[in-house]
Structure 1
Amino acid sequence: MTTEHPRTLAVTQHRFGAPEVLHLEEHPRPTPAPGEILLRVRAAGVNTVDLLVRSGTAPLYGNPPFTLGRDVSGTVEAVAEDVTRLRPGDEVFGKIDAGGYATHVTAPATHFAPKPAPLDHIHAAAAPTATLTAWQALIDIAQVGPGTRVLIHAAAGGVGHVAVQLAKAEGAHVVATARADRHDFLRDLGADELVDYTTTDFTDAVHDMDVALDLIGGDYGPRTLNTLRPGGLLISAIPGDLGLAPEDVEARGMRFTVVQAEPSGERLAKIAALLASNRIRIHVEAALPLAEAAKAHELGEAGHAKGKLVLVLPD
């Protein structure tokens, strides 16, 4: 008599390419290594980096096959012997290195925090990368506070709509760039001034900013320098497409840094309090079944989604 080994469903790709390279497959269920948990994933967030890795534009995982997915929310199913801070049955959310587009995934316990009780798994899974990026940029690096003038590009997107709220929660004055049909959405989140980049050159409309968060890359970096006051800080979340050199910024009497969201259950625990109190709201534009991961990527590449896209795992 043979014993059937537990299986997991995962969206796997065997080559780089368009969204249709994503396929739902069965794989052996992973076992947590020391320091890790086994998570029964209930929902997985879709991030821009997933699209870039899938296409081969940013081959962060080497060559396929692999499973994408860095943002997850779910229930702890098992823990390694040395893990004491989490137990089976705990509902948690977190940012992991890869593999979230699956019914089960293993990752370090330190990457997770308790899921905010008021949030369902869909909204919790949408939160980690967006909130960690915004937190590290605006709180850890820029230390924004009352009266700080903050410019946020791509403000209606996943990171952007969180950054608007986080900056406002700290008392900052927020200027946001977005298409006109996103302005009501951003006003509701607290943006003080809005610029429609399709009709207005933001460098003509925005001046004397203390901090600018570039979530677009390319020529946005050097153009954004024209909006900063002397000594102002430009933060780029697009490390592969900066559009400028740090020494160019320094030569103009301004500061520059790059932010890359690092997994941190400790930071997520602080962010969870803001999510639970509704001081930060996560907008989910669409939640699709895991089997429709390719469609989610198509929506992401279209570039018109407000907030986040999420994959929902089967029961």
Structure 2
Amino acid sequence: MRAIQFHQFGSAEELYLGDFFTPEPAAHEIRVKVKATALNRADLLQREGKYPPPAGESPIMGLEIAGTVEKLGEKVEKWKIGDRVCGLLAGGGYAEYAVIHEDVAMPIPESLDFLAAAAIPEAFLTAFQALIWIAKLKEGETLLIHAGASGVGTSALQLARLIGARAFVTASAEKHGLCLTLGAEQCIDYKTQDFADCILDWTKGRGADVVLDFLGASYLERNLQSLAMDGRMVMLAIMGGAQAAGINLGIVLMKRLSIQGSTLRARTLTYKTELTKAFMELTWDHFANGSLFPVVDKIFPWEEVAQAHLYMEGNRNQGKIVLSVE
């Protein structure tokens, strides 16, 4: 098969489309003819040598796929040849074929094509895990989402709307329109406004019940200021640095705050299976009727993967970047 690889760790110029062995499905796996995959920040880090795949997983980049079932493992019971599926991978999505365990593959609603379906798994499962499983966001609570126009941000906005939570976001000014259409109550231009001041003003000094953070060190102090009593913060990335000096942690005690980091790629199969099941129970009917939907910013043919990576590196996307695999 063909797959996107890189000559060596480094820039997007190292990416190329070349031959790679076609994976064989294990007993409970299905092999999928990939029609589309989508970009994630993890792909950029893996290309740079900063985020290797978990042991035993495919060295090929790509954490999500959409396509048709092409081959069944000998013990597969849930799928048949030709079924349309999408799902989350630990690696291997940038390829003509990928294998996925039958329990974490999801049926694509008839209303969605492959390009849209490929934009669901990573962003929505990450947002669901952070907001519903970890933070336990409830109806009527207040949520602050950083990077509100990102793939995870646009997914989190829709999930917050679905459960009846109030959502505020940070994003550059040109991306506010999208966030508002997805249910954001207010948008903060992180380049010109202090988000902590804005949140405290809009909540009359109370703060946000939940903060969804991707920045880490650079936002830590203001995130703590932004949280309400018994507030919860979920950290999904450290794009703003891993070392935070000079932070007064007394506020964590005074407000009884909870701070939890989370990743998804290296989770166990059991965890991912349970997560996928719970996610589908809450959302799949809403994807089918269009009240939930993946936000796709731009579609690139996979031959233009280098341009797609550069587009993401430039923070130009509003929603997901998808690669068409044909």
Q: Same fold (TM over 0.5)?
A: yes
Distance in 2 between the 1:61 and 1:260 partners? Answer: 12
Residue 42 (structure 1) shift:
0.4
1:184-203 to 2 correspondences below 5 Å: 184-203=177-196
Determine helix, strand or coil for the equivalent of 2:23: coil
Distance in 1 between the 2:155 and 2:277 partners? Answer: 18
Distance in 1 between the 2:278 and 2:36 partners? Answer: 20
Aligned equivalent of 2:91: 98
1:103-151: CA deviation from partner (whole Å, max 9, x where unpaired): 1011211221101211111111011010001111111122222210110
Residue 284 (structure 1) shift:
0.9
Q: TM-score, normalised by structure 1?
A: 0.91
Residue type matched to 1:259 in 2?
Answer: S
1:2-41 to 2 correspondences below 5 Å: 8-41=1-34
Distance in 1 between the 2:80 and 2:238 partners? Answer: 36
Distance in 2 between the 1:300 and 1:66 partners? Answer: 21
Q: How many residues align?
A: 305
Distance in 2 between the 1:26 and 1:306 partners? Answer: 32
Q: Is the 8 A contact 2:135 2:233 kept in 1?
A: no
Determine helix, strand or coil for the equivalent of 1:110: coil
User: Does the alignment pair 1:159 with 2:159?
Assistant: no
Worse-superposed segment, 250-259 or 107-116:
250-259
Structure 1: tracts of 5 or more residues without a match: 1-7
Residue type matched to 1:283 in 2?
Answer: V
Aligned equivalent of 1:149: 142
Distance in 1 between the 2:324 and 2:144 partners? Answer: 33
User: Does the alignment pair 1:228 with 2:227?
Assistant: yes
Which of 67, 83, 106 lines up with 1:74 in the alignment? 67
Residue type matched to 1:77 in 2?
Answer: E
Aligned equivalent of 1:296: 308
Residue 273 (structure 1) shift:
2.4
Taking only the aligned residue pairs, the percentage that are identical comes to: 35
Q: TM-score, normalised by structure 2?
A: 0.88
Aligned equivalent of 1:212: 211
Q: Is the 8 A contact 1:13 1:67 kept in 2?
A: no
Determine helix, strand or coil for the equivalent of 2:3: strand
Aligned equivalent of 1:177: 170
Distance in 2 between the 1:51 and 1:297 partners? Answer: 7
Residue type matched to 1:22 in 2?
Answer: L
Distance in 2 between the 1:307 and 1:89 partners? Answer: 29
Structure 2: tracts of 5 or more residues without a match: 201-206
Worse-superposed segment, 138-147 or 198-207:
138-147
Residue 22 (structure 1) shift:
1.1
Aligned equivalent of 1:273: 285
Distance in 2 between the 1:52 and 1:41 partners? Answer: 23
1:73-152 to 2 correspondences below 5 Å: 73-152=66-145
Distance in 2 between the 1:222 and 1:144 partners? Answer: 22
User: Does the alignment pair 1:256 with 2:268?
Assistant: no
Q: Is the 8 A contact 1:38 1:78 kept in 2?
A: yes
Residue type matched to 1:309 in 2?
Answer: I
1:182-206: CA deviation from partner (whole Å, max 9, x where unpaired): 1111111111111111111111111
Aligned equivalent of 2:203: none
